[in-house]
Structure 1
Amino acid sequence: MEFHPQPTAGPATPWAFPAPERGALPGGLTVLSCHRPGQQVVAVEICLDAPLNAEPAGLDGVATIMARAFTEGTDKRSAEEFAAELERCGATFDAHADHAGVRVSLEVPVSRLAKALGLLAEALRAPAFADDEIDRLVRNRLDEIPHEAANPARRAAKQLSKELFPAESRMSRPRQGTEETVARIDSAAVRAFYEAHVRPSTATAVIVGDLAGVDLPALLAETLGAWTADTAERSTVPPITADDTGRVVIVDRPGAVQTQLLIGRIGPDRHDRVWPAQVLGTYCLGGTLTSRLDRVLREEKGYTYGVRSFGQVLRSSADGTGAAMLAISGSVDTESTGPALDDLWKVLRTLAADGLTDAERDVAVQNLVGVAPLKYETAASVAATLADQVEQYLPDDFQAQVYARLVETGTVEATSAVVSAFPADRLVTVLVGDAAQIAEPVKALGIGEVTVVTG
């Protein structure tokens, strides 16, 4: 029997994160475009300079309601008509608010790009913000808040922000507002926030996909180019300050069979030259199933299904300052809370004393750099990363440079970065669980003063 010859792999193709082309529309909108052959679904990201710290006092959550209202009708179409037009395009439209600003996302087949960009421009240029639609969005948001409070991971994140940041800082409060502040929001408040902060001169559009045969300048001129408004300077943001005095806060959930762990502090963001080494070291500590934390807490001790460490950029400013949340998260069964924290701190202290191994460093580099071509295979992932760079005031080639730096980073440098990121005596620990069962074992560890708050 003869078989067809087995296929053999071809030569490896060099890969680098895509570089965008920059341009601008007459209305002031900055445009970043990136041609990705074969990506027939085009991704569009619009970065609006409407950060959470710009929300009026007592109206936390108005940015979120505004973002959600962009799809709820315009000066030409009702909410139902707008949704129907999106469906006819085969498009998805989403928007959310965060500390850096409001992000509007669109994905659509390239064959329907012109129509979808027209709808996007219409939503940005003339949103209806109808009273009944805003009232419905407010009610929906109020319904979500109790569900979020019942989620241990969300509750832990809320408490950690409250603990780390000063009470007057917007970062200390829930990103999408509280029941009290959201209940005050009406269409007039949403309209006022929109008029104060949403304009093309401070916005950026990122467009990624197979743009062969697309006259993008003409298409943009006909759609987003119709969006005009008074010019303005980009928002200024206050510096980020935080108190990382080592301490433990238990959010009491009587009868809970698990304890949610969230341990964190703030540290350098992507503007700091230590960022690649910090990414590498953090990945070795808790970025995957082969990391130190998982090897001890999951494989050896069986306390958890998984523990992760990560760095998440909070906000950056034009002068190159900012901060990232550095955190360790996971959950353990209630009885194992004390032992699990004890072993977690032993991992941190051992890391500080003995450092990472070359083998750990090599595996991390292979995973982080080797998976990049797959991670950025879709237009949406490339567009989202480029938009992140815009919001964080980073150069267009930043992500490409990060991968080059990761390859060059040695074991000693990665060790120094992760030890600095997670000092055993400067971490705020939030535990959501049964205080009656876990408070005393945690106090015995001596990792900081223990406080119990209601859940």
Structure 2
Amino acid sequence: MTTFRTAAEIGRTELGPRPLPELGEYRPATGSESADTVLDNGLRVIAVHQPTVPMAELRLRIPFAGTDRRHAAIAEVLAATILTGTSRRDRVAMDTDLALVGGELSAGVDPERLSIGGNALASGFDTLLDVLADALTAPAYRDEEVEGERARLVERIAVARSQPSVIAREALQRHRYGDHPFTRETPEAADVATVTSDEVRAMHRDSVLPKGSVLVFVGDVEPGTAIAKIGAALAAWTSDKSAVELPDLPDVLGGDVLFVPRPGAVQSQLRLSAQAIPRTDPRYPALQLANLVYGGFFSSRLVENIREDKGYTYHARSSLEFTVRGATLLVDADTASDVTAPALLEMRYELGRLGVVPPTVDEVETVRQYAIGSLLIATASQTGLASQLAALAALGLRTDWLVEHPNRLKEVTRDQVIEAALEFFSPTRFTGVVVGDAAQLKSLRALGGVTE
């Protein structure tokens, strides 16, 4: 009979836990050359020379906020159709031109920004830029393309809204932020169904703007050359207006957890959240490590408790969510319905224990190595580095922040991690939602701090 070892058994020897290997020599993530400038049209361009492979990676981030109720619906259709044709290329021609240089482009949108990203062989960089410029300055939004993508979006939204994770996310957003535009991550299918080509063209004209936007290039092209090529290709993309940023979010205040009934559900979705600090705060590196100790990686306290020890869930984690001017802590787990209350109890227990039983020296060193190693892995490829820099640039940070962050993590003391645990992980700072079958409500009420 075949026997299998548990994760705990795999990670241990007769002498105790298997020690982590020492980190190798730290090498800066951004290569030897980089440049950061603002073009005449107001577009910020960050170019990094990383010649590991002969490729060119682009990430364009355009602030894309709107307060109109139908903004999210029109924006979704725009993102789905911006790369389906221009005045001089149809969808097939755009795809063919990119394919000939080993390239691709894709677009997506959320309440904060419109994102366009892609890559090509370095030798095809000019073609990649030409197709991007064409989409930005002369999109067609042909009726047949808008109608086709609109129909597909309606179907996808209908499916998404039936998913427990989406239901939980929307409930959490409304609980945290009320009717703020940031909560409209998934538009209403009925609104999407009424979007017209004229509305999409008008939104592109009014909202797809260079001023306030950021384009990140990483690849096998010298930064000066890359910026010159980008400036020439996008010279016709101009406007006197600036891209629209989201209004500030209200702080997340601690309080009761909201129970959201989902009749007949066999699983419950638990989501807890608290206000955090942005990456620019000097306390951030300590908070990052404290979060890893609590629930930020597989060997964290939360995972060891409710997954490995008690088997309440397969998936549990805590993470930091970043917005343009702030951040929040998010704790999430999906559990069987009959252990919903015990799982919530243990999640709260581990929050309190992080302060009462502070992280040990070994815990701090383990998560420090994990944080530094994960960052180096995430930025080792051109694709990963481009995405990391684009996320940081949207927060107003420069490439030097990424280069210096491993050293900041190395300098964090255990006392600073303990202070962060006490300050940010107090159970009273958290609120959240539980989505599940109402039959679980009685046991949840017994815990206290749960409302309907």
TM-score, normalising length from structure 2? 0.88
> 1:111-167, CA deviations, whole angstroms, 9 ceiling, x for partnerless residues?
222212211111111111122222222222211122112221121111100111132
Distance in 2 between the 1:286 and 1:191 partners? Answer: 44
Distance in 1 between the 2:263 and 2:242 partners? Answer: 50
Structure 1 pair 221–113 and aligned structure 2 pair: CA distance change class (3 A): same
133-142 or 241-250: bigger deviation = 241-250
20-29 or 356-365: bigger deviation = 20-29
Please give the secondary structure, in 2, of the residue aligned with 1:89: coil
> 1:334-364, CA deviations, whole angstroms, 9 ceiling, x for partnerless residues?
2111111112211111112121111111000
Asked if residue 170 in structure 1 is aligned to residue 181 in structure 2, the reply is: yes
State the Cα distance separating 1:28 from its structure 2 match: 3.8
> 1:22-76, CA deviations, whole angstroms, 9 ceiling, x for partnerless residues?
23444443321111122223210112232x3x25343323222222222110010
Match of 2:116 in 1: 104
Match of 1:424 in 2: 427
**Number of equivalences:** 428
Match among 343, 355, 371 for residue 368 of structure 1: 371
Asked if residue 343 in structure 1 is aligned to residue 346 in structure 2, the reply is: yes
200-209 or 243-252: bigger deviation = 243-252
Distance in 2 between the 1:382 and 1:291 partners? Answer: 26
> Letter of the aligned partner of 1:33 in structure 2?
A
CA contact (8 A) 2:74 2:199 kept: yes
> Letter of the aligned partner of 2:317 in structure 1?
R
State the Cα distance separating 1:221 from its structure 2 match: 4.6
Please give the secondary structure, in 2, of the residue aligned with 1:108: strand
Match among 302, 317, 321 for residue 312 of structure 1: 321
Match of 1:230 in 2: 239
CA RMSD of aligned residues (A): 2.3
CA contact (8 A) 1:41 1:107 kept: yes
> 1:74-93, CA deviations, whole angstroms, 9 ceiling, x for partnerless residues?
01011232223222332121
Structure 1 pair 255–329 and aligned structure 2 pair: CA distance change class (3 A): same
1:89-168 alignment runs, 5 A limit: 89-167=101-179
Q: Name the % identity.
A: 25
CA contact (8 A) 2:209 2:243 kept: no
Match of 2:248 in 1: 239
State the Cα distance separating 1:272 from its structure 2 match: 2.2
CA contact (8 A) 1:276 1:405 kept: yes
Please give the secondary structure, in 1, of the residue aligned with 2:72: coil
CA contact (8 A) 2:175 2:432 kept: no
1:1-12 alignment runs, 5 A limit: none
Distance in 2 between the 1:215 and 1:353 partners? Answer: 55
> Letter of the aligned partner of 2:237 in structure 1?
T
1:273-312 alignment runs, 5 A limit: 273-312=282-321
State the Cα distance separating 1:283 from its structure 2 match: 0.9
Structure 1 pair 55–74 and aligned structure 2 pair: CA distance change class (3 A): farther
Structure 1 pair 176–257 and aligned structure 2 pair: CA distance change class (3 A): closer
> Letter of the aligned partner of 1:442 in structure 2?
L
Distance in 2 between the 1:162 and 1:330 partners? Answer: 19
CA contact (8 A) 1:61 1:175 kept: no
Structure 1 pair 35–65 and aligned structure 2 pair: CA distance change class (3 A): same
State the Cα distance separating 1:252 from its structure 2 match: 2.5
Structure 2 gap ranges (5+) = 1-22
State the Cα distance separating 1:440 from its structure 2 match: 1.0
Match of 2:446 in 1: 444
Match of 1:192 in 2: 202
Structure 1 pair 187–365 and aligned structure 2 pair: CA distance change class (3 A): same
Match of 1:46 in 2: 60
Structure 1 gap ranges (5+) = 1-10, 317-321
CA contact (8 A) 1:260 1:331 kept: yes
Distance in 2 between the 1:418 and 1:186 partners? Answer: 50
Match of 2:257 in 1: 248
Distance in 1 between the 2:366 and 2:245 partners? Answer: 40
Match among 181, 186, 191 for residue 191 of structure 2: 181
Structure 1 pair 43–55 and aligned structure 2 pair: CA distance change class (3 A): farther
Structure 1 pair 418–97 and aligned structure 2 pair: CA distance change class (3 A): farther
Distance in 2 between the 1:259 and 1:178 partners? Answer: 24
Distance in 1 between the 2:251 and 2:36 partners? Answer: 36
Distance in 2 between the 1:289 and 1:374 partners? Answer: 17
Please give the secondary structure, in 2, of the residue aligned with 1:429: strand
> Letter of the aligned partner of 1:391 in structure 2?
A
57-66 or 73-82: bigger deviation = 57-66
> Letter of the aligned partner of 1:339 in structure 2?
P
> 1:388-439, CA deviations, whole angstroms, 9 ceiling, x for partnerless residues?
1221112331222322211111222223223433321232232222221x11
State the Cα distance separating 1:284 from its structure 2 match: 0.9
Asked if residue 409 in structure 1 is aligned to residue 412 in structure 2, the reply is: yes
State the Cα distance separating 1:12 from its structure 2 match: 5.4
Distance in 2 between the 1:367 and 1:132 partners? Answer: 49
Distance in 2 between the 1:25 and 1:232 partners? Answer: 15
Distance in 1 between the 2:209 and 2:242 partners? Answer: 10
Structure 1 pair 415–392 and aligned structure 2 pair: CA distance change class (3 A): same
> Letter of the aligned partner of 2:46 in structure 1?
L
> Letter of the aligned partner of 2:240 in structure 1?
T
> Letter of the aligned partner of 1:337 in structure 2?
T
Match of 1:385 in 2: 388
> Letter of the aligned partner of 1:334 in structure 2?
S
State the Cα distance separating 1:217 from its structure 2 match: 4.7
Distance in 1 between the 2:302 and 2:312 partners? Answer: 11
Match of 2:46 in 1: 32
State the Cα distance separating 1:201 from its structure 2 match: 3.2
Match of 2:216 in 1: 206
State the Cα distance separating 1:247 from its structure 2 match: 1.8
Please give the secondary structure, in 2, of the residue aligned with 1:444: helix
CA contact (8 A) 1:202 1:232 kept: no
Distance in 2 between the 1:13 and 1:273 partners? Answer: 25
Match of 2:8 in 1: none
CA contact (8 A) 2:29 2:380 kept: no
TM-score, normalising length from structure 1? 0.88
1:74-89 alignment runs, 5 A limit: 74-89=86-101
